[in-house]
Amino acid sequence: MTQFKNAMEVYRLLDKSNCKKCFLPTCLAFAGAVFTGHKQLHECPNLSRDLIAQLGGDTLAVAPFDQIINDIMQKLQKEIQSLDLQETARLLGEEFSGGRLTLKVLGKKFSVDANGTIFTEIHVNPWVAVPVYKYILKGAKKEITGDWVPFRELPDGREGASLFAQRCEKPLKKLADITTDLFDDIIHLFSGRQVENYYDSDISIVLTPLPKIPMLICYWRADAEMDSDLKIFFDAAAEENLDADSLNSLSTGFTRMIQKIALRHS
């Protein structure tokens, strides 16, 4: 892959249409994100695949599923455009100013404007962005109950439970097994908080991926008799604010963000 000396080298390759199909507000923002490693060239659909291949970029990196999720993003972006954002913000109990609805995603500000364009303090992958769009579109009104349930015990959780374990719980457990300060990092980076140890776990932390979607992560260290384990729990009312597939996607996106951070630190 070509090593760019600065963001302007990337910018020169782009068509400068600021079309936002890469989910960033401008081509310049995209160039900066490629330069810092937060985006890859193939995420601009306007760049020729031949050029990406010449530069050593992985044109095959758009896996079918990622392509599907990008298509979903574009569809949801259009639906956001038909919303009265100010009224939606009022119903959600979130902030609206400067034409943008702003809520907190994993403790960071995440804004959407009337075009459906996202503005965030952190790099958010489509796995996270899709559920955020859906949360806004659904109008999440149900208050948190304070009761925790595993994914499979959510009303529609059974079907996606094994995928959830594969994509979220197992990779996080693996990371927790080898990264001693994983939970400190999660707390620090994503405004998590350590809570009483639920279900006899050794560590329990609560995160807030979306305002009315708290998530409890419990980790049990290995001992002489048992392997380690990690489980994720949701509020019992979570599915009233976000469908099970989106909860799965949100957790997958979060897991991928953590994996990326752990990789950079290793």
Minimal distance in Å, beta carbon 21 to ligand SF4?
Answer: 4
Measured between alpha carbons, how far is 241 from 48 in angstroms, rounded to an integer?
A: 39
CA distance to 89, 209, 252, per residue, from 75 (Å): 20, 22, 20
Q: Does 44 bind ligand SF4 (CB under 6 A)?
A: yes
Minimal distance in Å, beta carbon 109 to ligand SF4?
Answer: 21
User: What mask, x for binding ligand SF4 by CB under 6 A, covers residues 215 to 244?
Assistant: ------------------------------
Alpha helices in 36-147 (DSSP H): 49-54, 64-81, 85-92, 126-138
Q: Which amino acid would we find at residue 243?
A: D
Q: Does 118 bind ligand SF4 (CB under 6 A)?
A: no
Minimal distance in Å, beta carbon 15 to ligand SF4?
Answer: 5
Of 24 and 257, the one with the shorter C-beta distance to ligand SF4 is 24
> What's the distance, Cα to Cα, between the start and end of the chain in Å?
21
Instruction: Please compute Rg for the chain using Cα positions.
Output: 19
Q: Which amino acid would we find at residue 259?
A: Q
Q: Does 51 bind ligand SF4 (CB under 6 A)?
A: no
User: Of 11-19, 77-85, 184-192, 254-262, which segment contacts ligand SF4 by CB under 6 A?
Assistant: 11-19
Q: Which two tokens mark 46? A: 């306007």
Minimal distance in Å, beta carbon 47 to ligand SF4?
Answer: 7
Q: Which amino acid would we find at residue 183?
A: F
Q: Does 191 bind ligand SF4 (CB under 6 A)?
A: no
**Strand pairing class (108-113; 213-220):** unpaired
Of 19 and 163, the one with the shorter C-beta distance to ligand SF4 is 19
Q: Does 35 bind ligand SF4 (CB under 6 A)?
A: no
Whose tokens are 């991926």? That residue is: 209
Of 73 and 105, the one with the shorter C-beta distance to ligand SF4 is 73
Q: Does 103 bind ligand SF4 (CB under 6 A)?
A: no
Q: Which of 85-122 are b and which e, b meaning 16 or more Cβ less than 10 Å from the residue's Cβ?
A: beebbeebebebeeebbbbbbbbeebbbbeebbbebee
Q: Does 24 bind ligand SF4 (CB under 6 A)?
A: yes
Q: Does 20 bind ligand SF4 (CB under 6 A)?
A: yes
Of 42 and 100, the one with the shorter C-beta distance to ligand SF4 is 42
**Largest pairwise CA distance in the chain:** 60
Q: Which of 1, 8, 12, 19 binds ligand SF4 (CB under 6 A)?
A: 19
Q: Which residues bind ligand SF4 (CB under 6 A)?
A: 14-15, 17-22, 24, 27, 30, 44-46
